[in-house]
Amino acid sequence: MSVMVPSKTPARITPGRQALDSALHQLGQAAEHLGLDDGLRTMLATPRRSLTVSVPVRREDGRMDVVQGFRVQHNVSRGPAKGGIRFHPGTDIHEVTALAMWMTWKCALVGIPYGGAKGGVAVDPAALTTRELERLTRRYVNEILPMIGPEKDIPAPDVGTDEQTMAWIMDTYSVNAGYAVPGVVTGKPMQLGGSLGRAGATSRGVQIAALSALGHAPEGVTVAVQGFGKVGALAAQYLADAGCKVVAVSDVTGAVYAPGGLDVAALRAHVADTGRVLGYRDADALGHDELFELDVDILVPAALEGVITEANAPRVRARLVVEGANGPTTPEADEILAANGTVVVPDILANAGGVIVSYLEWVQNMQACSWSEGEVGRRLRDLMESAYGEVKSTAAERGLTLRQAAHVIGVSRVAEAHQMRGLYP
């Protein structure tokens, strides 16, 4: 059952609205399974706070552009809100709300004391100079300043943002506070209080989730990865390091394919030099859509939402889909994959490594200490493996898919927190 919420749905159904519909559908299924009452369902379906801002940006030629920015705190019952900031031309309030909701369930599922949030700016960062990006970032942060803070809401990188963006955010917030506040963002450079192991954390979590779901030695297991950014490139690297054969990867410009296996380190060096996977000499070019239909063991979508749909799901041949991206599979595609026996390790589990190590970074910041990479890696592995085990056993006991089980666990923990706190006043 889907949860009904009042919405300002535009006449055109945007990808963002589709993502929010998917998130509401998943919540509705979990709420039905848990027997939650209507009031609680509606509360969980609606964000606690949403802010839309207009961000003026001075361009290099003196012109001023104005772009839309968003920050949504979906739920703060279990702790401060936590979630990345996305710079992408297609982002809108619906997409940011969906991403914030998924963060709420993800944090509850892996047992870290955060609620869910997300931010976004509808801009193409590749079309801006570094100085324009810095001005945009600082002005956006000023506009959302009342919402964020180390005890309130802690941003992190997402699509189109990185360590440098986090450094500018940390600086802007700190200048306003009058002293350095490293705990206001995670995914920062090491020099500003970042954590060892954060840069590769989401990808490490994807590797742990994929190998847990595989259930046998990874040698020779074939993998295709959609999206070769922060998450996808290192997920491909870590899976290759574990013995898998990564045969295809793509980015926004195209896809490359080498049936004998790609040298992922060499491909990453090519992308660092040229900015794109296309043109890598030891592989053939492949159509974007063909990547989803390859005869591989594991498919890792690591780009954007809504890419595995009812249109291409019947042609997915991978027996395991491990979601590095948030929301890559629509509910219709989920049903088709399940009917075909394809196991989907859902986003809120598979890509939780990022927020887990963000939490570890924040704990180090709040305690003014730093841990070794080994310590961070051990804690990440423990939390990932225990969440995977819980999801797997809940799915088996209750006859659910891994996604349904993950949502049942996450939603039930947030619902319990609401019930225990009670309603004020």
Our finding on whether 22 is near ligand NAD (CB under 6 A) is: no
- Give the residue at shortest CB distance from ligand NAD: 229
If one asks whether residue 202 binds ligand NAD (CB under 6 A), the answer comes out as yes
- Is 252 a residue that touches ligand NAD (CB under 6 A)? yes
Q: Which is nearer to ligand NAD, 143 or 158 (CB)?
A: 158
Q: Is 245 tagged catalytic?
A: no
Whole-number minimum distance, CB 230 to ligand NAD, in Å? Answer: 4
Q: How far is the CB of 6 from ligand NAD (least distance, A)?
A: 26
Contact pick of 222, 329, 351, 401 for ligand NAD (by CB under 6 A): 351
Q: How far is the CB of 424 from ligand NAD (least distance, A)?
A: 32
If the CB atoms of residues 325 and 415 are measured against ligand NAD, the closer one turns out to be 325
Based on CB atoms, which residue is closest to ligand NAD, 36 or 203? 203
How near is the Cβ of 274 to ligand NAD at its closest, in Å?
A: 13
Which listed residue (250, 330, 365, 401) binds ligand NAD by CB under 6 A? 250
Residues 405-424 that bind ligand NAD (CB under 6 A): none
Q: Closest distance between ligand NAD and the C-beta of residue 71, in Å? A: 15
Nearer to ligand NAD, 40 or 192 (CB): 192
Any contact of residue 109 with ligand NAD (CB under 6 A)? no
Per-residue binding string, ligand NAD, 156-175, x by CB under 6 A, is -xxxx---------------
Q: Rank residues 288 and 379 by Cβ distance to ligand NAD and give the closer one.
A: 288
Output the smallest distance, CB 308 to ligand NAD, in A.
12
Please report where in the chains the tokens 């998450």 appear, as a residue. 231
Q: Is 288 an interacting residue with respect to ligand NAD (CB under 6 A)? A: yes
Is residue 228 near ligand NAD by the rule CB under 6 A? yes
Active-site hit among 82, 118, 230, 245:
118
Using the minimum distance from each CB to ligand NAD, give the nearer residue, 36 or 137. 137
Maximal C-alpha separation, the chain: 65
225: CB partners within 8 A, 6+ apart = 232, 235, 236, 246, 248, 249, 250, 300, 302, 324
Q: What does the buried/exposed string (b/e) look like for 25-59 if buried means 16 or more CB atoms within 10 Å of the residue's CB? A: bbbbbbbebeebeeebbebbbbbbbbbebebebee
Rounded least distance, CB 243 to ligand NAD, Å: 23
The full 3-state SS of the chain, as one line of letters, equals CCCCCCCCCCCCCCHHHHHHHHHHHHHHHHHHHHCCCHHHHHHHHCCCEEEEEEEEEECCCCCEEEEEEEEEEEECCCCCEEEEEEECCCCCHHHHHHHHHHHHHHHHHHCCCCEEEEEEECCCHHHCCHHHHHHHHHHHHHHHCCCCECCCEEEEECCCCCHHHHHHHHHHHHHHHCCCCHHHCCCCCHHHCCCCCCCCHHHHHHHHHHHHHHCCCCCCCEEEEECCCHHHHHHHHHHHHCCCEEEEEEECCEEEECCCCCCHHHHHHHHHHHCCCCCCCCCEEECCHHHHHCCCCEEEECCCCCCECCCCHHHCCCCEEECCCCCCECHHHHHHHHHCCCEEECHHHHCCHHHHHHHHHHHHHHHCCCCCHHHHHHHHHHHHHHHHHHHHHHHHHHCCCHHHHHHHHHHHHHHHHHHHHCCCC
Q: Give min distance, CB of 57 to ligand NAD, in A.
A: 20
Give the one residue of 153, 163, 251, 361 binding ligand NAD; rule: CB under 6 A.
251
Nearer to ligand NAD by Cβ, of 80 and 354: the residue is 354
Stretch that binds ligand NAD, among 133-141, 146-154, 324-332, 336-344 (CB under 6 A): 324-332
Does 326 bind ligand NAD (CB under 6 A)? Our answer is: yes
Stretch that binds ligand NAD, among 39-47, 153-161, 168-176, 314-322 (CB under 6 A): 153-161
Under 8 Å between Cβ of 118 and 103: yes
Chain positions contacting ligand NAD, by CB under 6 A: 157-160, 202, 226-232, 250-252, 288, 302-304, 324-326, 351, 354
Catalytic residues: 118
